[in-house]
Amino acid sequence: DGGITQSPKYLFRKEGQNVTLSCEQNLNHDAMYWYRQDPGQGLRLIYYSQIVNDFQKGDIAEGYSVSREKKESFPLTVTSAQKNPTAFYLCATQRDTDTQYFGPGTRLTVL
């Protein structure tokens, strides 16, 4: 996990609330990614950013939003439009055309 922090580790949300998941890195990597993990489905890409102030939708972006104002930070907001947000969320970074490195994850539960 080294160099990538995600907070909080566990997050509980009430129906209709927006919540923001934090991802911070000190690896000086340009690219950052958000994935959602559900049991038995592997990882699915939500959003990614290859440079500051730019980001693209992944395969399941609906109900999510992101920002990339600083190289070190790539927060993910889960909006009330996301109908089934309970999942494990993983942030990853990538340096140039190379390996992806993952943070420790945030488990979001909707009450």
Partner 1 sequence: AQSVTQLDSHVSVSEGTPVLLRCNYSSSYSPSLFWYVQHPNKGLQLLLKYTSAATLVKGINGFEAEFKKSETSFHLTKPSAHMSDAAEYFCVVSWNFNKFYFGSGTKLNVKP
Residue 45 CB partners (closer than 8 Å, separation 6+):
33, 34, 35, 58, 59, 60
**Token digits of residue 48:** 């990614």
Closer to partner 1 by CB, 13 or 44: give it.
Answer: 44
Query: Minimum CB separation from partner 1 for residue 93, in Å?
Result: 11
Query: Minimum CB separation from partner 1 for residue 103, in Å?
Result: 5
C-alpha closest to that of 2 among 105, 107, 106, 101: 101
Query: Minimum CB separation from partner 1 for residue 44, in Å?
Result: 8
Binding interface with partner 1 (CB under 8 A): 1, 4, 6, 40-45, 88, 90, 92, 94, 97-105, 107
